[in-house]
Amino acid sequence: MRNTEVSLSKWSVSSRIFHWISAVLLLVTWSMILLYENLDNGFYIGLHKAFGISLLCWMIARVINRLLTKAPPSVPMPKWQALLAHLTHFGLYALLIAMPIAGLLMSVYGGRPVDIFGLFEIPVFVTPDRSLARFYNDLHTGIIWPAIITFTLAHIGAALYHQFIKKDNLIARMK
């Protein structure tokens, strides 16, 4: 039987598409790093950059979509959990936007233009500066990336907790 309670409180179709494609783009961008590190092949770092910039554009569109569409009412949960969920979600948005910007700045301050799938190139729009390139490199790999891993694991852990312990069918809202 169709449960109207659940279907009524689903995320909008656009929000669901934005959510899952962001997750896939994150996975693909990261996989390119694994291929690059294991095969020592410059081709994959090029793809890493192009997918990372794609994720940046996707996240900007996602934020606009989030502001234009209505979020479903929260499922009942203690106040501290609702607050933690909001903070984690906000953190993920901020991190997934800051990460590719740091990557882009690392590249251009290093004097390297960024090729986007052979379609066009983002030119070096700043005066190259080794120490700034190093700073954004450290930010990209040493600070924002560990934060993305932490927030994503917390997020997936919370989703699994709702699914298997609370059994409140939360994941169905995003499916």
Site residue total, ligand HEM (CB under 6 A): 39
100 touches ligand HEM by CB under 6 A = yes
47 touches ligand HEM by CB under 6 A = no
Q: What is d(CA 145, CA 95) in angstroms, rounded to the nearest whole number?
A: 8
Length of the chain: 175
The residue from 6, 12, 155, 169 that contacts ligand HEM (CB under 6 A) is 155
Q: What is d(CA 175, CA 169) in angstroms, rounded to the nearest whole number?
A: 10
Q: What is d(CA 17, CA 109) in angstroms, rounded to the nearest whole number?
A: 34
Q: What is d(CA 97, CA 21) in angstroms, rounded to the nearest whole number?
A: 15
What's the distance, CA 142 to chain centroid?
17
- 3-state percent helix, strand, coil for the chain, nearest multiple of 5: 75, 5, 20
Binding pattern for the stretch 55-84 against ligand HEM, x by CB under 6 A and - elsewhere: x----------x----x--x----------
The residue from 3, 7, 23, 157 that contacts ligand HEM (CB under 6 A) is 23
89 touches ligand HEM by CB under 6 A = yes
133 touches ligand HEM by CB under 6 A = no
CB of 5 to ligand HEM, least distance (A): 14
Contact 102, 94 (CB under 8 A): no
139 touches ligand HEM by CB under 6 A = no
Compare residues 1 and 81 and give the one whose CB is closer to ligand HEM: 81
34 touches ligand HEM by CB under 6 A = no
The token pair at 100 is 């590719």
Q: Where are the alpha helices (DSSP H) in the chain?
A: 4-8, 13-39, 42-68, 79-109, 130-138, 145-161
The token pair at 25 is 């783009």
The residues binding ligand HEM (CB under 6 A) are 19, 22-23, 26, 29-30, 33, 45, 48-49, 52-53, 55, 66, 71, 74, 89, 92-93, 96, 99-100, 103-104, 106-107, 114, 137, 140-141, 145, 152, 155-156, 159, 170-171, 173-174
